[in-house]
Chain A
Amino acid sequence: MKKARVIVGNKKGVFDPEGKVVHSGLARLGYDQVAEVKVGKVIDLQFESGTEDEIRERIDKMCAQFLVNPVIEDYTVEFLD
């Protein structure tokens, strides 16, 4: 079975308030060398069948329809062993 991981984050240029608050929290703890923090989410999908190309195509459709809000979010897909 193929396992795919969809990583969803805010589009470039879309303000990420959660990332900003985590960033200031890290600074408060003394980690002031962190330049930027982005917080996103991970969706792991396990497929019963399909090649990586087929699965990638299916995931693109899932993201367009449901998993991602294209107004503010984008995503990357990676395959897990």
Chain B
Amino acid sequence: MKFAVVVFPGSNCDRDCHHVVSHVLGQEADYVWHQDTDLNGFDAVVLPGGFSYGDYLRAGAVAKISPVMEAVAKFANAGGPVIGICNGFQILLETGLLPGAMQRNNSLRFMCKTVDLVCRTERTPFTGELSAGSRLRLPIANAEGNYTIDDDGFAALKDNDQIVFQYCDAQGEVSDASNPNGSRANIAGICNVRGNVLGMMPHPERAAESVLGNDDGLALFTSALEHLNR
């Protein structure tokens, strides 16, 4: 299977994603430049983390109007699996492929630590190997991870089974104390109604090999492969 790793000026997790797909997962990965307009031949798309366009205006705002995003929207609307990680999630929110918006972390600090997460649905292409209720630990590294959505939008997320990951504590309890940034309902990741587009703030690609001390994130990539091979 062939994964596209989209590269914007300021992306900085593109190589990690490429490495996990090509060396850990053993699949083909190719960089796609933000000026490109063609995703033909790709089976999945990764929007990596970083600071696209220096986070100017708003995180993800300038990436939204880059040529490649029209192709990503077309790919997503055709049902292709798309994962946006960290800045990639922010870009998906800005483009409207996912609902809601990101605000500054309520601490106003850049948060860089490993967090506990609980998976809420296995229906996305990236969570098929996780079961609802299963837990994983992944690193977060962001200043704007405070997920915000209005009451109607939040009700729709719940009704449509779109909440994919929530921050929890080591016992799996989802509480204010385990919320690192003020995100509504401890949301760490959501999908679109159809389920093929996933956005998440934690970085699975940074924890996908046991040599790094944690390979919890690999399940997202193996799930995608399993989904594509089905």
B105 contacts partner chain A, Cβ-Cβ < 8 Å = yes
**Of B93, B149, B150, B182, which contacts A15 at CB under 8 A?**
B182
B68 CB–A CB distance under 8 Å: no
Whether the pair B106, A71 counts as a contact (CB closer than 8 A) is no
Which one of B94, B99, B146, B182 contacts A69 once the chains associate, using CB atoms below 8 Å? B94
Q: Which residues of A contact B12 (CB under 8 A)?
A: none
Indicate if B214 sits at the interface (CB-CB under 8 A): no
Say yes or no: B103 contacts A14, CB within 8 Å. yes
Q: Is there an interface contact between A15 and B101, defined as CB atoms closer than 8 Å?
A: no
Q: Mostly helix, strand, loop or mixed at chain B's interface? A: loop
Chain A residue at smallest Cβ distance from B148:
A72
Range class of the B interface residue count: 20 to 34
- Cα distance, A17 to B57, chains bound together (Å): 17
Please tell me if the beta carbons of A72 and B65 are within 8 angstroms of each other in the complex: no
For B150, what are the chain A residues with a Cβ–Cβ distance below 8 Å? 71
A32 at the interface (CB under 8 A from B): no
Residues of the B chain whose Cβ atoms lie less than 8 Å from the Cβ of A21: 108
Complex CA gap A59/B61 in Å reads: 17
Whether B172 is near chain A, meaning CB under 8 Å from some CB there, is no
Tell yes or no: A18 within 8 A of B by CB: yes
Q: Across the interface, which residues of A come within 8 angstroms of B61, CB to CB? A: 66, 69
Of the listed residues B64, B101, B105, B107, the one surrounded by the most CB atoms of chain A closer than 10 A to its CB is B101
> Of A18, A65, A69, A71, which one neighbours B104 at CB under 8 angstroms?
A18
Question: How far, in angstroms, from A71 to B58 measured CA to CA in the complex?
Answer: 13
Query: Which residues does B use to contact A, with CB under 8 Å?
Result: 57-58, 61, 64-65, 93-94, 99-101, 103-108, 146, 148-150, 182
Sampled A-B contacts (22; CB under 8 Å): A14-B103, A14-B148, A15-B103, A15-B106, A15-B182, A17-B104, A17-B105, A17-B107, A17-B108, A17-B146, A21-B108, A65-B65, A66-B57, A66-B61, A66-B64, A67-B57, A69-B101, A71-B99, A71-B100, A71-B101, A72-B101, A72-B148
**Known A17-B146, A66-B61; 17 more pairs at CB < 8 Å:** A10-B103, A14-B103, A15-B106, A15-B182, A17-B103, A17-B104, A17-B107, A17-B108, A17-B182, A18-B104, A65-B65, A66-B57, A69-B61, A71-B93, A71-B148, A71-B150, A72-B103
